[in-house]
Amino acid sequence: MVVKMILALVTIVGGLLMIVALPVVVLAGAVGAVGSLAPAPGGGGVGGVGAAGPAPTGGLDIPAAALVAYQLGAAACPGLSWTVLAGIGKVESDHGRSTLPGVSSGANSAGAEGPLQFLPATFAEYAVSTDGLAPSPYDIDDAAVAAGRLLCADGATAPGGLQSAIWSYNHSSAYVAEVLAWASRYAATVAAAGPGARPRSAGAP
């Protein structure tokens, strides 16, 4: 079955993030339940993750809004795979679905805010508006674009720079491994769907 979704392209003009939406046809596959994908051994590459291997059971299990946001964030850092941002979003907040403090409002015990868990000062440095309003760490589009810009600034697309950029995002080797594991799974899921397929979000018919 094929379904239509919107692929968002971005460009920054005069400090404002401009969004152009294009309709594309995507391949519909099975969707797993929350938590149905267990991390697999990860791998990385310059500017993206595309490790070969068997596809995971089920679909991406990424909400539609989050999937578009990760693509926006990747577009803000040419060469960065959206799957890396999806890996970060999965680990930080289950793509914004976590009910823990600081995800949809307020802050956690470390002061981090939003689905991608930004400290306020870091978000203020890398955030740009995606809708003409003041950037918000709780807006997943704004958060993903800020994350993409932060990873870019930390050398994510430089040769050998992806792991160190993710480590700069969260100073934990275990965190880096978990993010890359999820990114590899998402890449494998899309690759298994076949040439020309686009990622199918959770909840799509």
Range of the domain at 36: 2-192
Q: Sign of the C-alpha dihedral, residues 89, 131, 129, 197?
A: positive
Judge whether 50 lies within some domain.
yes
CA distances from 85 to 2, 13, 109, 133 (A): 25, 23, 23, 23
Q: What are phi and psi of 19, to 5 degrees?
A: -115, 130
Decide: 49 and 43 in contact? Cβ < 8 Å. Answer: yes
Helix (H) or strand (E) holding 98: none
Instruction: From first to last of the 205 residues of the chain, give the pLDDT tens digit.
Output: 333 344 444 444 445 555 444 443 333 332 222 222 223 333 333 334 433 222 233 479 999 999 999 999 999 999 999 999 999 999 999 999 999 999 999 999 999 999 999 999 999 999 999 999 999 999 999 999 999 999 999 999 999 999 999 999 999 999 999 999 999 999 999 998 877 666 665 655 4
Question: Is position 148 within any domain?
Answer: yes
pLDDT at 59: 79
Q: What is the pLDDT of residue 201?
A: 59
Give pTM, 2 decimals. 0.72
Q: Determine the pLDDT at residue 33.
A: 26
67 is a domain residue: yes
Tell me, yes or no, whether 204 lies in a domain. Answer: no
Strand ranges, E, within the chain: 2-13, 16-27
DSSP per residue over 29-82, as a string? Answer: ---PPTT-S-------BTTB----SPPPSS----BHHHHHHHHHHHHTSTT--H
Q: How many domains, the chain?
A: 1
Q: Establish if 23 belongs to a structural domain.
A: yes
Q: Evaluate whether residue 21 is within a structural domain.
A: yes
